[in-house]
Structure 1
Amino acid sequence: MKTIQKFAFILGAATVLFSCDNADNNSPDLPLEAILVEDLAAPNDLIDRNTNQVLEVRPFQYFSLEKNELVAENEDWDLAFKGTTIRVNNTKNVNASIVTGIFEEIKEVPASATFATDTETSFAIPTGSGTGWYNYNSATFTVTPIPGRVILVKTTKGNYVKMEILSYYKGNPPLEQIDPRTTPSAHYTFRYILQPNGSTKF
């Protein structure tokens, strides 16, 4: 995985100052930062395409949004990645919701957002083309994030995150440069903003 980078994401004007004695608990106290994660490798199981037999079971990659790093399964992870599947940590009450909107324009958790956690029969972040965060093109055999889909997460610590997946391919190449035969897939590039004080505002 490439070095995880951070860049300042300033809300509103170029510089926004928040009062430390603001009585509104739903107001952030500091300017928030967007975190860019590049090439988080989470390959799917190796499958024989002729027989559909699983030749090698590969592990999920567990990621802490709070720590901004990969962690072990027995640690406080928020999301787990493998192939196009993204799990939430239901043992730690992590919840997620997918909303439609522009990442920069979502300033708070919408009242209409419906949060859920994983169950034995369903994922909080649905898998399958068009149902969750991505579309699969059967003509080009490519996976692409759906524009305007933003994932909201309530973390292990009860903090809110807004997250946008930017690419499913190593190096975040332009769509026209993706060759599904040679371009490594299941390499997530995404950005997210964590509100560390439990506020619903970003």
Structure 2
Amino acid sequence: MKTIKFLTLVTLFMGLTSCSSDDSTPVLGVTSKTISNLHAPQSGGQGQGPISGSFTKFNFATGKTTTSDTDWDIAFRGTSIIVNGGASLGTTDEPNRTGQAAAYIANGTMASITDVDSSLFVQDSNTGYAITTGNGNGWYTYAGPPTHLITPIPGKILVFKTRDGKYAKVEILSYYENAPANPDITIHATPYYTFNYVYQPNTNVTTF
């Protein structure tokens, strides 16, 4: 009788352990990185004909650029930043959107933007990008002649939903190679993005 009771308890314990193991999902740590000198050239523009050239695609999970047609979250060309979600604006050499990525611009700092506001997300479309382009419209200002400087707007944090429904936030630091403190277009090459980003790798978690 004691043996039967012992075996019953062992069986129950094993069953509970198995259920606990199956139901638990490992919590992944939030990733924080700085990306330096991401090169995103374009052809044309500024009176030199239509803008063209391949976008430089970036994957938040790997923290690297990619040439994949599908495994990218955001992509850069000149001052334009697109997401892997929605539809093409129709410019030359735009990649197809195959994911569910979206974006919005939050006012604050990387430290102060701690939650995602899902109601603000917008995808690229045939009428415009989710991250608006143009002087003072999105992430940068353009000084015009004589300096022609592209300068990130302080306090603008780009919040992204990734192609597979996770989240990231980005602070663009510089548009110039090696992120000089005082850029000069006659000395410092463009476009070379330097930016901080934080990536939340856990599904359905909307905090950073």
Q: Shorter-normalised TM-score: what interval?
A: 0.7 to 0.9
* Equivalence for 2:70: 75
**What is the TM-score with the length of structure 1 in the denominator?**
0.77
CA RMSD, Structure 1 to Structure 2 (Å) = 2.1
- Cα deviation for residue 46 of structure 1 reads 4.2
- Cα deviation for residue 182 of structure 1 reads 2.6
* Equivalence for 1:155: 162
1:83-94 to structure 2, matched below 5 A, reads 83-90=78-85, 91=97, 92-94=99-101
Q: For 1:57 and 1:163, how far apart are their aligned partners in 2?
A: 25
Q: For 1:110 and 1:81, how far apart are their aligned partners in 2?
A: 24
C-alpha contact 2:29 2:201 (8 A) present in aligned 1: no
C-alpha contact 2:75 2:82 (8 A) present in aligned 1: yes
Select which of 30, 33, 37 maps to 2:31: 33
Count of aligned positions:
170
* Equivalence for 2:56: 61
Deviations 1:26-48 (A, max 9, x none): xx94653311100000012145x
- Cα deviation for residue 73 of structure 1 reads 4.3
Q: For 2:31 and 2:83, how far apart are their aligned partners in 1?
A: 23
Which has the larger helix fraction? 2
Q: For 1:145 and 1:169, how far apart are their aligned partners in 2?
A: 11
* Equivalence for 1:43: 41
> Identity of paired residues, percent?
36
Alpha-carbon spacing, 1:31–1:67, altered in 2? closer, same or farther (3 Å) = closer
C-alpha contact 2:28 2:201 (8 A) present in aligned 1: no
Segments of 5+ residues of structure 1 without an aligned counterpart are 1-24
1:40-189 to structure 2, matched below 5 A, reads 40-46=38-44, 52-53=48-49, 57-90=52-85, 91=97, 92-110=99-117, 114-139=120-145, 140-175=147-182, 178-189=183-194
Deviations 1:109-138 (A, max 9, x none): 146x61111011110000001110001101
The 3-state SS of whatever aligns with 2:127 is coil
The 3-state SS of whatever aligns with 2:70 is coil
Q: Which runs of 4+ in 1 moved over 2 A?
A: 28-33, 51-54
Q: For 2:188 and 2:141, how far apart are their aligned partners in 1?
A: 17
| Structure label with greater radius of gyration | 2
* Equivalence for 2:8: none
Segments of 5+ residues of structure 2 without an aligned counterpart are 1-24, 86-96
